[in-house]
Structure 1
Amino acid sequence: MRRIGLIAGYGMLPVLWARNAQKKGVQVVTIGITPETKEDELKKYSHCYYQISIGELNQIIETLKKEKIENAIMLGKVQKVQLYQGLKMDERLLNLLKNLKEKNDDAILLALVEELANEGIQFLKQTTYMEEFIAREGNLTPELNLSPDLLNDMQFGFKMAKEIGRLDIGQTVVVKDGAVIAVEAIEGTDRAILRSGELARGAVVAKVSKPRQDFRFDIPTIGLTTMKNLVAVGARGLVVEADRTFFIQQKEVLELANENGIAVVAMR
């Protein structure tokens, strides 16, 4: 039986992957790396479960080796801001970070991937066993009217989000009437959306992948939490990148979107 290591942040994405992997006959060895990781739900689909802080890189690697893991996958949210808020880090992680000239998302994650590769552990694409959760192109809320000005903001937001992705700043921008209201940086998508609500109502949120996205990590994801935040700030639209975005809890998300008049579009 195939064994795959799951390095799990918080949110539903790791749970959905573990469930699908188990259905495929995979033995899932899970390491939860944040206090918010859904431990109880993950244990239902895991052959074994470990809780290890993201700062304990050496223990994470040694655990995967002990479990004879040759392939692993990273899924779930990890707040990068922890790096600047007193996260206790072991010597291995400190050395890894110290040797990086840049500490943007891609640089850190690629360094982690290479560190594990040196120990014989290869990372799989996050899309493995997750095809059903990929957003497909089109208007996902056809009941709602896409006015010309709304569509213009969606196209503008998409273009701006691609640019900040190219610079590896973030994945999300919030726009209104052809102006950028908020840009995601270290705080993450949810906080960027909530911050935009302090500046403008009726905005459009755009979330996209990076132009040269490495599908082993950090694929953009939207779900019920995203939509609840859009409702909270009075947004009028959400645009994501078709075929390159995870869209989880789709039924609940689209019901909430329709109830609140928030158009959802996946475009290229």
Structure 2
Amino acid sequence: MGAVNGTLAILAGEGRLPVVLAARARAGGRRVLAIQVRGASPQLAEAADVYVRTPLGEVGRLLALLQGEGVTEVLLAGRFSRAAVHGDLAGGDAAARRLLETVRDRGDQPFLSAVASALGRWGIRVGEQLAYVGDLLAPPGVLAGPPPAPEEAADVQVAVRVARHLADLEVGQTVVVKGGAVLAVEAAEGTDEAIRRGGSMAPGAVVAKVGRTQQDPRFDVPTVGPDTVATLAAVRARVLALEAHRTILLDPAEVRHAAQASGITVVAVDAPPLRPRDAEAGRS
């Protein structure tokens, strides 16, 4: 991807990914406007040139901010509760309600694609997270802890297969399995709650977090970090399975240390790399 001029905006939910993106973009010479639409983050405020908190339902104000700051590119990053986002838009300004009315499929990727299309009509491009954190994609193999035992390896296969179907159906990305039985699947509650729910049923469970077969690299790329490992440790889960080349691994050294300390194996199963949308457009 070539050099991009103008201010980069990060439309931020909760979690650490927006902070990492802001820090890396600034280190690369970009001016960063962080718009926090979910939660609050002193770390993001410190990492960005400009930090603003505003509800997602105030679409008119968001657009004015983007245009007033000379934004040419937006990244969508962080955790967004599906129910909260739809609630914010339904109770938001006229522009927010119009946006919600245009979205027939309320799954995460179709919904975010509609947001990207709306921004495009306003002359603002939605960029790809991997342009800034592509080096954080998990490599294949065992990343922490001992190799999975045979029964755990079998559960990894089940969990990854079910999670991929789950993601393709726009339900969620995370599945918890023990002894070949699915204990929990992620829906609107998010990854951590799904892990807590499933892991509380049986210690030693396997957790898989997997993206869609046709994953859009602009948003909702599966992301794990030390907090994910801490959630597994709290319910005494044994294995965290990811897809190599398709999962962002935040703070890899800290993830390895936390996993080792908790007796958790982190394994990345081999998978086809995510394709940049620019490359896809060039083939179409």
With structure 1 as the length reference, what TM-score do the two structures score? 0.93
Q: Is the 8 A contact 2:222 2:247 kept in 1?
A: yes
2-side partners of 1:61 and 1:51: how far apart? Answer: 14
2-side partners of 1:85 and 1:199: how far apart? Answer: 31
Change (3 A) 1:51 1:71: same
Alpha-carbon displacement from aligned partner over 1:231-254 (angstroms, at most 9, x marks no partner):
111111010011111111222222
Q: Is residue 69 of structure 1 aligned with residue 65 of structure 2?
A: no
Deviation at 1:63, TM superposition (A): 1.0
Change (3 A) 1:76 1:84: closer
Amino acid at match of 1:57: V
Amino acid at match of 1:17: L
Which residue is 1:117 aligned to?
A: 120
Q: Helix, strand or coil for the counterpart of 1:31?
A: strand
Which residue is 1:184 aligned to?
A: 186
Amino acid at match of 1:42: L
1-side partners of 2:192 and 2:228: how far apart? Answer: 7
Question: Once structures 1 and 2 are overlaid, which stretch shifts more, 91-100 or 65-74?
Answer: 91-100
Deviation at 1:84, TM superposition (A): 6.3
Q: Is the 8 A contact 2:86 2:100 kept in 1?
A: no
Identical counterparts, % of pairs: 36
Q: Is the 8 A contact 1:235 1:262 kept in 2?
A: yes
Q: Helix, strand or coil for the counterpart of 2:62?
A: helix
Which residue is 1:138 aligned to?
A: 141
Q: Helix, strand or coil for the counterpart of 2:83?
A: helix
Which residue is 2:273 aligned to?
A: none
Q: Which runs of 5+ in 2 are unaligned?
A: 271-284
Q: Is the 8 A contact 1:204 1:239 kept in 2?
A: yes
Question: Once structures 1 and 2 are overlaid, which stretch shifts more, 75-84 or 11-20?
Answer: 75-84
Alpha-carbon displacement from aligned partner over 1:1-53 (angstroms, at most 9, x marks no partner):
6421111111111111111111111111221111x231x32233322222111
Q: Helix, strand or coil for the counterpart of 2:202?
A: coil
Q: Which runs of 4+ in 1 moved over 4 A?
A: 83-87
Q: Across the two proteins, how many residue pairs are aligned to each other? A: 265
Q: Is residue 172 of structure 1 aligned with residue 144 of structure 2?
A: no
Q: Is the 8 A contact 2:56 2:88 kept in 1?
A: no
2-side partners of 1:85 and 1:120: how far apart? Answer: 26
Q: Is residue 8 of structure 1 aligned with residue 15 of structure 2?
A: no
Q: Is the 8 A contact 2:11 2:37 kept in 1?
A: yes
Amino acid at match of 1:116: L
2-side partners of 1:193 and 1:44: how far apart? Answer: 31
Of 128, 131, 140, the residue aligned with 2:131 is: 128
Q: Is the 8 A contact 2:25 2:132 kept in 1?
A: yes
Deviation at 1:131, TM superposition (A): 2.1
Q: Is the 8 A contact 1:11 1:37 kept in 2?
A: no
Which residue is 2:282 aligned to?
A: none
1-side partners of 2:200 and 2:113: how far apart? Answer: 35
Alpha-carbon displacement from aligned partner over 1:152-205 (angstroms, at most 9, x marks no partner):
111111111111111111111111111111000111101101111332221100
Deviation at 1:86, TM superposition (A): 6.8
1-side partners of 2:6 and 2:100: how far apart? Answer: 32
Q: Which runs of 5+ in 1 are unaligned?
A: none
